[in-house]
A = this chain, B = another copy of it.
Amino acid sequence: MSEVLRKHIEKFIAIDDKDFSKIRSYFKTIEARKKHNLLTEGKICISNYFVISGCLRLFFVNEKGVEQTVQFALENWWLADYTSFSAQKPSEFYIQTIEKSTILAIDFISQEKLLKEFPYMERYFRFIHQRAHAAYQFRIKYLYSSSREELYHAFNQLYPEFVQRIPQYLLASYLGFTPEYLSEIRNKRIS
């Protein structure tokens, strides 16, 4: 199971057996059922989460009580509310499993210790956040440039595995439209 994390780290930096074994020891493994909350609004986002299997989402509850999805994390993705995590202050978000999931969690203090012991891991996390930063620049581009229908098709092309796997109402929430509208677009395509 740890091999998933190791392979992911090795995409960016070299790492040997001895170091990885120590690095691994900073994480704890969470086996969570579907719809388990790893983070609840008002609580501190204690950990940074790496998905081994399954899927997570970051969402908030709007004034009407509707859950609005901000970010997904499939296998090999990291997820946290980075405002809450980095300042260890209460969060405005939830993090929840969409499927039964296996997750590695590293709490804030452990991550700081890990980075002190293995400063080259800063490079790994720099890449993770730089990629997320880049992805959000494109997300805003798509949100602002496309009709809602184009947005769905672009997303479909970029992340086909997502569209197959994520429940329709969550995908609609992520793309900023209603489940009914998503269903309409999908039916149009099939017919």
| Interface residues of A, Cβ cutoff 8 Å to B | 58, 60, 62-63, 68, 70-71, 81-83, 86, 92-93, 115, 119-120, 122-123, 125-126, 129-134, 136-141, 143-145, 176
Chain B residues positioned under 8 Å from A126 (CB to CB) = 122-123, 125-126, 129
A130 interface neighbour in B58, B70, B86, B143, Cβ under 8 Å: B86
Q: List 9 A-B contacts (CB under 8 A).
A: A60-B141, A62-B145, A70-B137, A70-B144, A71-B140, A81-B137, A82-B134, A126-B129, A133-B136
Among residues of B, the one whose C-beta sits closest to the C-beta of A125 is B126
From A70, A137, A138, A141, residue with most partner B Cβ within 10 Å: A137
- In the assembled complex, the CB of A110 is this many whole angstroms from the nearest CB of chain B, namely 16
Q: A86-B130, A132-B136 are in contact. List 7 more A-B contacts (CB 8 A).
A: A62-B144, A70-B141, A70-B144, A93-B137, A119-B122, A133-B136, A136-B139
Min CB distance A126 to B, Å, is 4
Given A129-B126, A129-B132, A133-B132, A141–B92 Cβ distance below 8 Å? yes
Q: How far is the CB of A99 from chain B (nearest CB, A)?
A: 22
Residues of B within 8 A of A119 (CB): 119-120, 122-123
Q: How far is the CA of A29 from the CA of B82 in the complex (A)?
A: 32
Cβ-defined partner of A134 (8 Å) among B60, B62, B83, B131: B83
Most buried by B among A60, A62, A125, A140: A140
**Whole-angstrom CA separation of A138 from B78 in the bound complex:** 17
